């Protein structure tokens, strides 16, 4: 009697819990999925299928989300082929995620409790898109309601007055803890925007100010203090970057908090201060990433920063942002990989504002932009892709310097709802199906407006993601010499993830 009951419960769990997207259309080119305290769409993990079966998950502009179908490897002979070769392998995946900004926490906090849970599950749980690598601003950023650091009093080189702020306790730590509880292994990395004014040559959070030489060691100690304070609250970090967008110091407009670093000077600081301080601390195995800025500075900034073998030895990875990717070919990433084959490349920030609009509810085009960028990065040795704010409000904030942007999840506080944008699902077509430790494998297809990338998962499954930007159905033959060929059809304006074992 027990066995049938257990089996029944198992099937109940497997088949009855998938909730469909509650689609809503605004005035843009696509749809959002609406969630509230009692309802939110889910997507279960793919269940292993046996050869010759393969699973297909499709989302399309007209509103389909992670729609599962299956087919088999039987001979197919359409003219267009996507060729997969699992014996040719490239980089290993570190993870996928977004940032626990103050604004993200403020927006989650503004929802009713049930909706908060549904939101965190959407990003982190087994029934969501399974984020596992997230960024945490070390102090404030432009997505805060004020400018601050952890030591804003009078000059304090020994950091005796260093302390976490209200924002950490209300908007970051609680949600990081809840997210950690929902995932197997959430990796976090921290990034500072501003340094305390008294450490800087211009005595200001913004514009062209460097860390004063006598403060080099204090600024390195500041990183370790932050890691210590979070560890006391049970939060362990996987990595740090040397600072957000060090070249913003040279921007003549805007009020972005920044520590400006010329390449040669940051190399010196890593060699003499940050590197030895981190490695001799209780966080000695933490990953150190340099750059954390636009692709335009590759490879020269990193080459200059790491000319010295000592600074090079301290650095594990190179962090890149997406903001001018549309204008610069991604091949600079591969060039950088060739120069530094032992350093991983990680995409650490992306977000959209275009056509004069921050939030555009339902924009499929913005989802496509995310996918195009992710695929280009992955095809050029990048090991993961981390979005910017995970949650913003209807205006694209809060941001105390009015730097409004879009986000994959938008909250509508009045309605007690949140909206999962096409960018959420586009990112999910990667993050859900490509677990940490997956390795990119060779894939080839030459077809206008179709992009693709393929992986071998740690469980030996093969994953292929194909973006079809054509306004028509595209029939294809999938050709994996270890399996044979299969016929697949890409829905118009769609993204498809194919999985088989
Ligand atoms: C939540 O969403 C579900 C599904 O759309 C709907 O049936 C329900 O009425 C909503 N609840 C509230 C409180 O709006
Ligand atoms: C995380 O899970 C543990 C164990 O189930 C629980 O005691 C704790 O309250 C949870 N923490 C949060 C922040 O949800
Ligand atoms: C590491 O942590 C332990 C226990 O909290 C502490 O006693 C020790 O001083 C720390 N070591 C360093 C190098 O900070
Ligand atoms: C760095 O190390 C390599 C190999 O050990 C050596 O050939 C090179 O001269 C060193 N460069 C510097 C700047 O020390
Ligand atoms: C994956 O395949 C390799 C070789 O084909 C095998 O050694 C390994 O055990 C497999 N791993 C899993 C998780 O099945
Ligand atoms: C599959 O691709 C391989 C490599 O390009 C090619 O040699 C082979 O002929 C293709 N198979 C079919 C059935 O077209
Ligand atoms: C999206 O997919 C659904 C289901 O396959 C299909 O009915 C619909 O026509 C598709 N939309 C477009 C624009 O292709």
Q: How far is CA 324 from CA 66, 140, 276, 296, in A?
A: 30, 24, 33, 8
Q: Which residues have CB under 6 Å of ligand 5?
A: 459-460
Q: How far is CA 442 from CA 95, 142, 366, 380, 457, in A?
A: 19, 39, 27, 12, 13
- Is 349 a known active-site residue? yes
Query: Residue ranges per domain, the chain?
Result: 94-438
Give the position of tokens 């997969």: 84
Question: Of 130, 167, 245, 271, which residue is the catalytic one?
Answer: 245
Asked whether the predicted pLDDT for residue 409 surpasses 80, the reply is yes
Average model confidence (pLDDT) across the chain: 95
What is the number of the ligand 5 atom nearest to the C-alpha of 459? 13
Nearest CA to ligand 3 atom 3: 282
Residue 479: strand pairing partners: 83, 485
Between CA 141 and CA 376 the distance in angstroms is: 28
What is the number of the ligand 4 atom nearest to the C-alpha of 308? 13
pLDDT of residue 353: 87
pLDDT of residue 150: 98
Asked whether the predicted pLDDT for residue 13 surpasses 50, the reply is no
Nearest CA to ligand 4 atom 7: 309
Phi, psi for 431 (deg, rounded to 5): -60, -35
Question: Of 130, 167, 257, 349, which residue is the catalytic one?
Answer: 349
- Does the domain at 94-438 match CATH 3.60.20.10? Answer given as no
CA nearest neighbour of 123 among 40, 37, 30: 40
Centre of ligand 1 to C-alpha 64, Å, is 20
pLDDT of residue 78: 86
Nearest CA to ligand 6 atom 12: 479
Centre of ligand 5 to C-alpha 458, Å, is 8
Q: At what angle do helices 113-124 and 173-182 cross, to 10 degrees?
A: 60
Q: How far is CA 370 from CA 144, 151, 352, 374, in A?
A: 24, 37, 9, 6
Asked whether the predicted pLDDT for residue 1 surpasses 70, the reply is no
Which pLDDT band holds residue 100 (cuts at 50, 70, 90)? Answer: very high
Q: Which among 119, 175, 181, 234 is the best mutation to test ligand 2's pocket, defined by most ligand atoms within 8 Å of the CB?
A: 181
Centre of ligand 4 to C-alpha 309, Å, is 6
Q: How far is CA 336 from CA 91, 330, 373, 381, in A?
A: 13, 10, 17, 9
Nearest CA to ligand 3 atom 10: 282
Nearest CA to ligand 5 atom 12: 459
Q: Which among 368, 422, 490, 491 is the best mutation to test ligand 7's pocket, defined by most ligand atoms within 8 Å of the CB?
A: 491
Centre of ligand 1 to C-alpha 414, Å, is 14
- What average pLDDT score do residues 422-447 get? 98
pLDDT of residue 355: 81
pLDDT of residue 81: 96
- What average pLDDT score do residues 247-253 get? 87
| Residues recorded for the chain | 501
Q: What is the pLDDT of residues 164-178, one digit of tens each?
A: 999 999 999 999 999
Burial of 496 (0-12, 13-18, 19+ CB in 10 A): buried
Q: What is the pLDDT of residues 255-314, one digit of tens each?
A: 999 999 999 999 999 999 999 999 999 999 999 999 999 999 999 999 999 999 999 999
- Whose atoms come closest to the Cα of 33: which ligand? 1
Q: What is the pLDDT of residues 313-372, one digit of tens each?
A: 999 999 999 998 888 999 999 999 999 999 999 999 999 988 889 999 999 999 999 999
pLDDT of residue 124: 98
Q: Is the CB of 178 under 6 A from ligand 2?
A: yes
Centre of ligand 7 to C-alpha 474, Å, is 12
Give the position of tokens 């509508």: 412
Between CA 371 and CA 367 the distance in angstroms is: 6
Asked whether the predicted pLDDT for residue 14 surpasses 80, the reply is no
Alpha helices in 126-183 (DSSP H): 166-167, 173-182
- Is 166 a known active-site residue? no
Q: What is the pLDDT of residues 440-464, one digit of tens each?
A: 999 999 999 999 999 999 999 999 9
Nearest CA to ligand 7 atom 2: 64
3-state secondary structure (DSSP) of residue 379: coil
pLDDT of residue 17: 67
Q: What is the pLDDT of residues 115-163, one digit of tens each?
A: 999 999 999 999 999 999 999 999 999 999 999 999 999 999 999 999 9
Q: Which helix (H) or strand (E) holds 335?
A: helix 331-339
Q: Which among 124, 177, 182 is the best mutation to test ligand 2's pocket, defined by most ligand atoms within 8 Å of the CB?
A: 177
Asked whether the predicted pLDDT for residue 2 surpasses 80, the reply is no
Tokens of 417: 């709802």
- Whose atoms come closest to the Cα of 78: which ligand? 6
Q: What is the pLDDT of residues 196-246, one digit of tens each?
A: 999 999 999 999 999 999 999 999 999 999 999 999 999 999 999 999 999
Nearest CA to ligand 5 atom 2: 460
Q: How far is CA 473 from the centre of its chain?
A: 30
């Amino acid at each position: 009697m027990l066995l049938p009951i257990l089996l029944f419960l198992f099937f109940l769990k497997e088949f009855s819990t998938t909730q469909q997207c509650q689609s809503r259309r605004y005035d843009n080119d696509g749809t959002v999925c609406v969630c509230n305290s009692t309802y939110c769409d889910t997507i279960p993990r793919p269940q292993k299928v046996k050869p010759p079966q393969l699973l297909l998950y499709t989302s399309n502009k007209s509103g389909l989300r992670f729609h599962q179908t299956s087919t088999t490897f039987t001979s197919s002979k359409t003219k267009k082929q996507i060729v997969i070769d699992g014996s040719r392998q490239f980089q290993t995946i570190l993870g996928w995620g977004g940032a626990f900004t103050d604004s993200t926490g403020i927006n989650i906090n503004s929802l009713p409790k049930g909706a908060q849970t549904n939101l965190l599950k959407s990003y982190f749980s087994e029934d969501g898109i399974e984020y596992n690598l997230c960024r945490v601003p070390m102090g404030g950023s432009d997505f805060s309601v004020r400018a601050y650091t952890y030591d804003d009093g009078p000059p304090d080189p020994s950091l005796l007055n260093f302390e976490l702020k209200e924002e950490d306790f209300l908007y970051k730590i609680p949600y990081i803890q809840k997210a950690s509880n929902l995932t197997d292994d959430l990796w976090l990395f921290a990034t500072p925007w501003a340094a305390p004014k008294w450490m800087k040559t211009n005595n200001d959070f913004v514009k062209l100010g460097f860390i004063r030489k006598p403060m080099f060691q204090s600024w390195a100690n500041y990183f370790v203090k932050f890691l210590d304070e979070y560890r006391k609250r049970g939060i362990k970090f996987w990595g740090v970057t040397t600072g957000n967008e060090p070249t913003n110091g040279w921007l003549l407009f805007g009020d972005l908090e920044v520590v400006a670093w010329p390449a040669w000077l940051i190399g010196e600081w890593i060699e003499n201060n940050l590197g030895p301080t981190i490695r001799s601390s209780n966080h000695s195995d933490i990953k150190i990433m340099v750059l954390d800025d636009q692709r335009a500075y590759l490879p020269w900034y990193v080459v200059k920063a790491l000319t010295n073998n000592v600074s090079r030895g301290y650095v594990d990875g190179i962090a890149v942002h997406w903001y001018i990717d549309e204008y610069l070919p991604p091949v600079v990433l591969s060039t950088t990989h060739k120069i530094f084959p032992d350093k991983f490349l990680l995409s650490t920030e992306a977000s959209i504002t275009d056509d004069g609009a921050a939030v555009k509810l339902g924009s499929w085009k913005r989802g496509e932009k995310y996918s195009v960028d992710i695929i280009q990065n992955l095809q050029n040795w990048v090991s993961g892709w981390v979005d910017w704010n995970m949650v913003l409000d209807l205006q694209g904030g809060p941001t105390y310097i009015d730097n409004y942007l879009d986000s994959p999840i938008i909250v509508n506080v009045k309605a007690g709802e949140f909206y999962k944008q096409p960018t959420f699902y586009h990112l999910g077509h990667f993050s859900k199906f490509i677990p940490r430790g997956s390795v990119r494998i060779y894939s080839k297809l030459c077809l206008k407006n179709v992009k693709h990338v393929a992986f071998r998962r740690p469980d030996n499954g093969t994953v292929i993601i194909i973006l079809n930007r054509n306004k028509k159905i595209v029939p294809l033959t999938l050709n994996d010499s270890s399996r044979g060929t299969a016929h697949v059809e890409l829905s118009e304006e769609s993204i498809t993830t194919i999985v088989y074992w």
